[in-house]
Chains A and B, each alone.
Chain A
Amino acid sequence: MHSILIIVFAPLLAAIIAGLGNRALGNTVAKSITTGALFLSAALSWPIFLSFVSGSAEPSVTPVLHWVQSGSLNFDWALRVDTLTAVMLVVITTVSALVHLYSWGYMDEDPDQPRFFAYLSLFTFAMLMLVTADNLVQMFFGWEGVGLASYLLIGFWFKKPSACAAAIKAFVVNRVGDLGFMLGIFGTYLVFNTVSIPEILAAAPSMAGSTIGFLGTRWDTMTILCILLFIGACGKSAQLGLHTWLPDAMEGPTPVSALIHAATMVTAGVFMVCRLSPMFATSETAMHVVTYVGAATCFFAATIGTCQWDIKRVIAYSTCSQLGYMFVAAGVGAPGAAMFHLFTHAFFKALLFLGAGSVIHAMHHEQDMRYYGALRKKIPLTFYAMMAGTLAITGVGIVDVFGFAGFYSKDSILEAAYASASSSGSFGFWCGISAALLTSFYSWRLVFLTFYGKPRWSQSEHIQHAVHDAHGHGDHAHDHDDHGHNHGHDDGTAGYHPHESPLSMLIPLGVLSFGAVFAGFLFSHSFISEGTGEFWKGAVAFNEHLIHHMHEVPLWVKWAPFVVMLTGFVIAWNNYIRNPKAPAAFVEQFSVLHRFVYNKWFFDELYNFLFVRPAFWFGRLFWKAGDEGTIDRFGPDGAAWLVARGTRYAQKVQSGYLYSYALVMLLGLVGAVSWVMVR
């Protein structure tokens, strides 16, 4: 199984060569090396995955290098390959390879391409290290490595202040989660005396009933460990509370959003919970927490997605929401369903993002859907790709016949949530159903606003720029006469002609469309059917009972997602095709609600108020009033002042007059004599 070494390290090598070679290599060479490495990794990953699907492969661990030994704490660099890893391998390498290819077209005009491709490959390496980790610390290495790559790629256009701010925000918010992860690792080591994942998972059931102190309170051991680790997962997977960085991360180039903030990195939290599922399974409380947080995120993010105007932000909130689904599945004890949704989601969400990128590319970097419209005829291939993605994410399909990818995975999650028959499970189910309605609504809203209706391009500054650049060079006098000058076009196009993307961008769209259409149909049997233990081979702990019950849920549960999907579609159709005035009327009627949702439930404002501003305020306080006003004032400066003051008095005493010395002598003598006498 040494191909795993090539799969993991080829991207690293490519990243180093392209990154350090940079301008010396030139764009084409750097791009070829990184893209080639990724296609190589992808080509080697699929056989591994397929051998697990067919059941012929066994889990393996490939040691790489000794890492740390400190007392009984001992961990190595090693690459673990089992079913769970194999699933992630194909997802990561395939999407990454396609995104590399796509970026040839998308980033064609960027002056800094080698750096971009080096970052992409570096990210892929870190992500692969994460999913092949055999111990918690290596997982944390990958975890932070992808965080670094994400930071670098969000801030890729570092001249933009908003991009820099978003990059820092992503890193720091993730670090909050990472602190939880770290404490989880510490606690795990304390309890299990190892950080090796297989050993922990094997020993976890024996910890049942044990308790442990944490921050002065007493906890069920497994509950607190799982919750701490889950905090880490929440950070990376942008779950409620720690989600604020994800929408801002859209400042990065669109291929980055597709690869990192949709298909792979943000799913790391889900992967972690699935990888540690035997551990989570020992604590019901922790499982409830996972389900509740996932369900709440699923619903909450979907609401915000319904009223964003930026095409990428809609998809970003959609990602957040879909991650919630995965956590619901993991929380109710169906990690197979969670991984299945992760798998299908990677294809259709990467497709949606890359499709959005293609639209943005066509519309000269305009991202606001208010300025789109009627693009169906102009960029038909992108339109079909987006349609495939939308059909997949909304879960279109007929039970027992055929469905698009999301149909299988999302329905299996909802069925599992229903079948779990716990309070958290039904919360998850109802949140999931509501979110499915919202998902259908915002997805179709996106499609209708972008591809249907009349062109509304003339309002867009980006489009005006493009038009002016194209036409305006010759006659400067014209440019100045009025702002809304449409060059004689009053059809809303401003004379702009969107162009279909180049082949390098269309091929990835095509491949991913295939995935979005067929991934669910082809692999649902392996991931979630009864007797699926043969596929997973113990890589995740799933509840055989639950799987059984999943297939026996009432018919209305099976059909409910279909109904809400249809409802969402109809509402979107009504609001954006039939009666385009409806949304405005709705907003007017429910302005408070709309403001709340439109402003993303005011999380950013809240965090600014609670954390960011106090941090700076306290920093200044400690510096000025603490260090300078107290410590220095009464410490060294105070001592210096005392000495200076003291010497001034001493100086006065040494007047040089004989009589004053004589007086002091006399006084001293009197004092000494009286001391002797009195004693």
Chain B
Amino acid sequence: MNGFPILSAMMLVPLLGAVVCLFASASSARKIALAATLVDFALGLVLWSQYRIGGDQWQFRESVALFQGFSWKLGIDGIALLLIELSVFLMPICIGASWKSVEKRVGEYMAAFLLMEMLIIGVFTAQDLFLFYIFFEAGLIPMYLIIGVWGGANRIYASYKFFLYTLLGSVLMLIAMLWMANDAGTTDIPTLMAYDFDPAAQKWLWLAFFASFAVKMPMWPVHTWLPDAHVQAPTAGSVLLAGVLLKMGGYGFIRFSLPMFPEASAQFAWLIFVLSMVAVIYTSLVALVQSDMKKLIAYSSVAHMAIVTVGLFAFNRQGLEGSMIVMLSHGFVSGALFLCVGIIYDRLHTREISRYGGLSINMPRYALFFMLFTMASVGLPGTSGFVGELLSLMGVYQVSSWVAAISGTGVILGAAYMLYLYRRVAFGDQKNADAAAMPDLDAREIAMVVALAIPVLWMGVYPESFLAPMRSDIAALEARVARAKPAGDARFLAGKPTIQTHAEHEGAE
């Protein structure tokens, strides 16, 4: 796209759409929003097809100096590309999910979503430190409104909790950014990614960024905003929150913490590992005892995100690539699971698991797709969840078998709580007459779940499409952090080839 500012265009389209939606009637607002998101999706496909794998690290660069060294600087690498694709893919589904269920203030609702999309793309494309910060923080506002205005009964509490948590981390990040801009003399992210900060200062900077990303991720113990936010948010809000917003934390670690502060990252890897291991077991067990569907899936998200963080701080190829795949996969799968909850919520207006049961009988199509996404969430090979988990855990195993083994219990516990959920919703006999009377998926819903099923299976069977664009970027990142790479606890010692097989078993245990 010689010179055409496609990234700016991808941000402009939803922005314009948002403005128009504000003044449009309910039914036309829906159509405008859908059209805008579909156009953006189309642009996203163009972006993907034009992205040259193995080309420059940063492509589609745009730069307009604004004032005081602050500039409108955009550009993407393979990592950002994939996350943008995820976002523009999920967006039309979000609009579709709200087609019928949102009836009040439709124009404003659609505008909030479109604004959200613009800001998300901004986060993943920004190449200027402060531009990134603005997008990163501004994203809070539409989400805050979506939860606070269109949410459930306890929406005000949830939206404040969401806002307070995420803002707290951001303040520290801003201070760190100011210090960095001052120290390095630039706000250009690619330059900063190659800049070597003093290791002593790195520690503080890392912690400041960590405060923000850990909340976004969310990591244990700053995860408690997530279940509330999910439970109260409308379906599309949950899809967006789980699908994309949580990925900003992981993106932050990949883009800032690891390349800018490699030494500090290695130093604090233990902290990440401990928090993640706790998260896997803790939140999985909490998920097991939930009676609210959305809360259950929200807690499972925390457990899955913990797999992302352990992979990121494994400092090797499999860990990093695995984490990216887990993020993408979780975007599709958890989005799909929240959508599945939304579909039956629209019919019965309750998230209480025990109010359902036996849906396989009256909603066989729904049961099929719900099963598929459940299995993807559990990490069944052949679905996207597996590839990510395998790589991520394989990466971290090379650093610490403890972390891999304990995080690996997630595959057991994950199966337990997801299948237990599925059993209570879709299996069993039809014990509630109103649940038994629910109609199966309609065409709109089928279109959405099928759209989500395709990438889930695609990524599971042929993940190369997703691994290839980011390969060189991950390689660069691996090279960048290589100097701080931890040794790993395996400490493999080769045997002496002369010794015969009988002698060596004394030392076996």
Interface, chain A (partner B; CB < 8 A): 19, 22, 65-73, 77, 137, 140-141, 143-145, 148, 151, 155, 158-159, 161, 164, 167-168, 171-172, 175-176, 178-179, 182-183, 185-187, 189-191, 206-221, 223, 282-285, 615-616, 618-620, 622-623, 626-627, 631-632, 635-636, 639-640
Contact = CB atoms under 8 A, between A and B. Distances in A.
B427 A164 contact: yes
Given A71-B316, A215-B401, A172 B416 contact: yes
A179 B411 contact: yes
A220 B462 contact: no
13 contacts: A66-B464, A67-B461, A69-B464, A70-B317, A77-B461, A158-B358, A159-B358, A175-B412, A183-B401, A186-B393, A186-B404, A190-B397, A221-B495
Contact of A168 (B364, B420, B464, B509): B420
Nearest to A224: B508
B221 interface: yes
A412 B411 CA distance: 39
B281 to A, nearest CB: 9
B492 A183 contact: no
Contacts of A208: 495, 497, 499-501, 504
Interface string B393-419: 110011001101100110111011001
Nearest to B429: A159
Given A151-B419, A171-B419, A215-B402, 4 more contacts: A71-B318, A209-B496, A615-B416, A636-B161
B508 A616 contact: no
Interface stretch (B39-47, B130-138, B379-387): B379-387
B476 interface: no
B401 A179 contact: no
B472 interface: no
B462 A212 contact: no
B286 to A, nearest CB: 4
A283 B495 CA distance: 13
B329 to A, nearest CB: 13
A223 B401 CA distance: 16
Contacts of A19: 368
Nearest to B414: A175
Contacts of B161: 636
Contacts of A185: 390, 394
Contacts of A221: 492, 495
Contact of B411 (A148, A175, A207, A615): A175
Contacts of B420: 168
A627 B423 contact: no
Contacts of B286: 619, 622-623, 626-627
A619 B288 contact: yes
Question: B221, B408, B504 — which one has the most chain A CB atoms within 10 A of its CB?
Answer: B504
Contacts of A71: 316-318, 321, 478
B9 interface: no
Interface in B161-177: 161, 164-165
A150 to B, nearest CB: 12
Interface of B: 160-161, 164-165, 221-222, 224-225, 227, 282-283, 285-290, 316-318, 321-322, 358, 360-361, 364, 368, 375, 380-382, 386-387, 390-391, 393-394, 397-398, 401-402, 404-405, 408-409, 411-413, 415-416, 419-420, 423, 426-429, 461-464, 467, 478, 489-497, 499-505, 507-509
Contact of A626 (B282, B368, B394, B493): B282
A178 B410 CA distance: 12
B490 A220 contact: no
A137 B390 contact: yes
Contact of B364 (A22, A137, A616): A22
B52 to A, nearest CB: 19
B380 A148 contact: yes
Nearest to A636: B161
Given A68-B463, A172-B415, A182-B393, A158 B505 contact: no
A141 B464 contact: no
B464 A619 contact: no
A210 B492 contact: yes
B505 A183 contact: no
B507 A211 contact: yes
A206 B498 CA distance: 10
B382 A145 contact: yes
Contacts of B391: 68, 70, 73
B414 to A, nearest CB: 8
B402 A216 contact: yes
A618 B489 contact: no
Contact of B428 (A161, A179, A635): A161
B412 A66 contact: no
Question: B461, B501, B508 — which one has the most chain A CB atoms within 10 A of its CB?
Answer: B508
A180 B276 CA distance: 20
Nearest to A214: B401
Contacts of B494: 207, 209-210
Given A185-B394, A186-B397, A622-B282, A282 B375 contact: no
A626 B461 CA distance: 39
Contact of B288 (A22, A220, A616): A616
B381 A145 contact: yes
Contacts of B497: 206, 208-209
A318 B290 CA distance: 39
Contacts of A209: 494-497, 499, 503-504
Contacts of B499: 208-209
B382 A141 contact: yes
A217 to B, nearest CB: 8
Contact of A171 (B318, B381, B397, B415): B415
A618 to B, nearest CB: 5
Given A68-B391, A209-B495, A190 B164 contact: no
Contacts of B358: 158-159
Contacts of B381: 137, 140-141, 143-145
A424 to B, nearest CB: 13
A431 to B, nearest CB: 23
Contact of B165 (A171, A172, A636): A636
B376 to A, nearest CB: 11
A168 B375 CA distance: 13
A622 B375 contact: no
A207 B495 CA distance: 7
Contact of B461 (A65, A223, A639): A65
A626 B492 CA distance: 39
Q: List 5 A-B pairs, minimum CB-CB distance, nearest first.
A: A209-B495, A71-B317, A186-B397, A220-B508, A619-B285
Contacts of B463: 67-68
Given A137-B390, A220-B507, A210 B495 contact: yes
A168 B416 contact: yes
B397 A213 contact: no
Contacts of B375: 148
Given A68-B467, A207-B495, A620 B289 contact: yes
B427 A158 contact: yes
B224 A632 contact: yes
Contacts of B405: 179, 183, 215
B428 A159 contact: yes
B393 to A, nearest CB: 7
A275 B4 CA distance: 56
A159 B367 CA distance: 14
A631 B221 contact: yes
Given A208-B504, A616-B288, A636-B164, A70 B404 contact: no
A679 B409 CA distance: 63
Nearest to A174: B415
Contact of B360 (A67, A69, A158, A186): A158
B107 to A, nearest CB: 32
Contact of B398 (A151, A190, A211, A620): A190
B492 A212 contact: yes
Given A70-B317, A145-B381, A636-B165, A179 B501 contact: no
A407 B463 CA distance: 48
A219 B505 CA distance: 9
A285 B405 CA distance: 22
